[in-house]
Amino acid sequence: MVRLLVGLVTMSLMVAPLKAADLLVAGGENNAWFVVPEKATIDGVPEWALAHHGRQDEPGVYHTLRRFDQKPTTLATLDHSVWLTLQPRQDRPAQVPVRVLRVGWNDRIERYIAEPRTGLGVLPDIQTDVGSPGTPVDMVATSTGPAVLLSHDGGTWSVQRLRRGRWEVVDVPTMDPGSSLRLGLDDDRLVLVASHDDNVDLWWQEGTDWTGPTRYAATGPVLDLATVGGRLVISTQPAAERVALAYAQPGGLAQLGSWSPAEGDSWSVLALRGRPALGRVGESLEVSAFDPLTGTQGPWMSYQPGSPLGIGVWPVLVAFTASAIVLLVLLRGRPDQLSLPADLGPLPPVTRLLALFIDALPGLVVVFTWGEGEFRLLIDAVFLSLDASEWVIYATLVGITCGWTLAWELLVATSPGKMLAGAGLVREDGSRPSGSRLILRTLLKGMILLLPVLAVTALRPPGLQSAADQAARIVVVRSQPPAEASDEDG
Contact between 53 and 4 (Cβ < 8 Å): yes
pLDDT category of residue 4 using cuts at 50, 70 and 90: very low
Angle at 208 between CA 204 and CA 210, to 5 degrees: 30
Average pLDDT value for residue range 437-451 = 88
Q: Taking the domains of the chain in order of start, what are their residue ranges? A: 8-305, 313-489
Architecture of the CATH domain 8-305: 7 Propeller (2.130)
Contacts of 402 (CB under 8 A, 6+ apart): 442, 445, 446, 449
pLDDT category of residue 224 using cuts at 50, 70 and 90: confident
pLDDT over 60 (residue 49): yes
Among 63-72, 166-175, 294-303, 304-313, the minimum mean pLDDT is found in 304-313
pLDDT category of residue 329 using cuts at 50, 70 and 90: low
- What's the pLDDT score for residue 158? 92
Tell me the pLDDT tens digit for each residue of 96-134.
999 999 999 887 667 898 999 888 999 999 998 888 888
**pTM for the model:** 0.62
pLDDT category of residue 12 using cuts at 50, 70 and 90: very low
Round the CA-based radius of gyration of the chain to a whole number and report it: 32
Return mean pLDDT, the chain. Answer: 80
Which of the given ranges, 20-24, 207-211, 267-271, 450-454, has the highest pLDDT on average? 207-211
Contact between 226 and 270 (Cβ < 8 Å): yes
pLDDT category of residue 328 using cuts at 50, 70 and 90: low
Which of the given ranges, 122-131, 215-224, 383-392, has the highest pLDDT on average? 122-131
Q: How many CB atoms lie within 10 A of CB 284?
A: 12
Residue 472: its H or E element: helix 467-472
